[in-house]
Amino acid sequence: MKLSVVIPVYFNEDNLMPLYDDMKKKIIDVIDFEYEIVMVNDGSKDGSYSVMQKIAQMDKNVKIVSLARNFGSHAAILCGLEKCTGDCAVVKAADLQEPTELILEMVDRWKKGFNVVLAVREGREESRRQTMFANLYYWMVRKTALPSMPKGGFDVYLLDRKVINVLLALDERNSALTGQILWSGFRTDQVYYTRLAREIGTSRWTLKKKIRLVADTLFSFSALPIKAVSLIGALSFFGSLIWAVFVFVFKLMGRIEVSGWTTLFIFNLFSFGVMMLTLGILGEYLWRTFDASRGRPTYIVEDENEKE
């Protein structure tokens, strides 16, 4: 058998050499089967690619790819999966926050016949704010889109070759790869770990990227946005209808005063806000449809150094 380890890299210059040393000690020097490491530079502007080149010179089983710009972790991982040649592939982050030995446990589960093995977080050595946001996101995904999402979520996972082929065939833009894995429905198992605090470098997982992940998950795997618009529209309509009945009755009773423009102004402002929200949600769907119809590649490779 052959194991591939796919590592997306984004501003990880100081992490890469310690990461490789850790993998060599805990994986490469331990296993008795073939392996390859596929590192994908996702448009890093630091010295990440130079370090990747040094590692590739040290180990003939290391493939390196550099994308033309930052396309996002979804695209970088897809690129790595397309370039890998293993019977199974483990997607691992480059920040050293997941125990490397998890890979061996995941491979053991794969050998037992599971097509997907998820490394699920059962604890975090991170700030309360980070933990709260992550838990809220995974709770929302379970309730609105993917009931099979683990409570602790996952970023590290093993995929069988047949699963890799399915993900590459989907070719979806503006989507969440973790959601596609759960959606595919392959036989899945889980291993558990505690996410370590980051000791080297600074996370580039910004609030903007977190919000985009939430939007990609909702618009790709849930009908919640459209249902929310329908619900708001229905409530607004029936609320306005009831209000109109009350106004008509009070008018007949002679209890309508001339003043009241403030209430009318607030109601008009609320209605305008609802309409703009509706247009925004519909615009998201239209943009994603248009973006997919253009047929642009998910990523563009600028340089690579594949080993035969």
Residue 217 lies in a domain: no
Rg, the chain, Cα only? 25
Same domain, 197 and 228: no
The residue ranking higher by pLDDT, 35 or 287, is: 35
- Structural domain containing residue 255: 224-293
Same domain, 134 and 13: yes
Same domain, 68 and 178: yes
Same domain, 273 and 186: no
Same domain, 284 and 301: no
* Alpha-carbon distances, residue 257 vs 90, 247, 260 (angstroms): 71, 11, 7
Same domain, 287 and 301: no
Residue 219 lies in a domain: no
pLDDT value at residue 91: 95
* Alpha-carbon distances, residue 174 vs 34, 120, 167, 214, 299 (angstroms): 34, 24, 14, 11, 12
- pLDDT range class, residue 110, cuts 50, 70, 90: very high
In the 3-class helix/strand/coil scheme, how is the chain assigned residue by residue? CEEEEEEEECCCHHHHHHHHHHHHHHHHCCCCCEEEEEEEECCCCCCHHHHHHHHHHHCCCEEEEEECCCCCHHHHHHHHHHHCCCCEEEECCCCCCCCCCHHHHHHHHHHCCCCEEEEEEEEECCCHHHHHHHHHHHHHHHHHCCCCCCCCCEEEEEEEHHHHHHHHHHCCCCCCHHHHHHHHCCCEEEEEEEECCCCCCCCCCCHHHHHHHHHHHHHHHCCHHHHHHHHHHHHHHHHHHHHHHHHHHHHHCCCCCCCCHHHHHHHHHHHHHHHHHHHHHHHHHHHHHHHHHCCCCCCCEEEEECCC
pLDDT value at residue 107: 95
Residue with tokens 């530079």: 41
Please report, for the domain that includes residue 169, its CATH number: 3.90.550.10
Residue 215 lies in a domain: no
Residue 73 lies in a domain: yes
Residue 212 lies in a domain: no
- pLDDT range class, residue 21, cuts 50, 70, 90: very high
Same domain, 197 and 231: no
- Rounded CA-CA distance 117/154 in Å is 10
Residue 81 lies in a domain: yes
Same domain, 125 and 156: yes
Same domain, 301 and 276: no
Average of pLDDT values for 237-245? 76
- pLDDT range class, residue 306, cuts 50, 70, 90: low
Residue 96 lies in a domain: yes
- Rounded CA-CA distance 164/245 in Å is 59
pLDDT value at residue 55: 94
Average of pLDDT values for 164-174? 84
pLDDT value at residue 61: 94
Same domain, 178 and 43: yes
Tens-digit pLDDT profile for residues 176-225: 888 889 888 899 999 998 887 766 767 666 667 777 777 777 777 777 78
**Cβ neighbours for 167, distance < 8 A, ≥ 6 positions apart:** 78, 81, 159, 177, 180, 181, 184
Tell me what the pLDDT averaged over the chain comes to.
84
The residue ranking higher by pLDDT, 118 or 134, is: 118
Same domain, 65 and 188: yes
The residue ranking higher by pLDDT, 236 or 85, is: 85
Same domain, 175 and 270: no
Number of domains in the chain: 2
pLDDT value at residue 260: 59
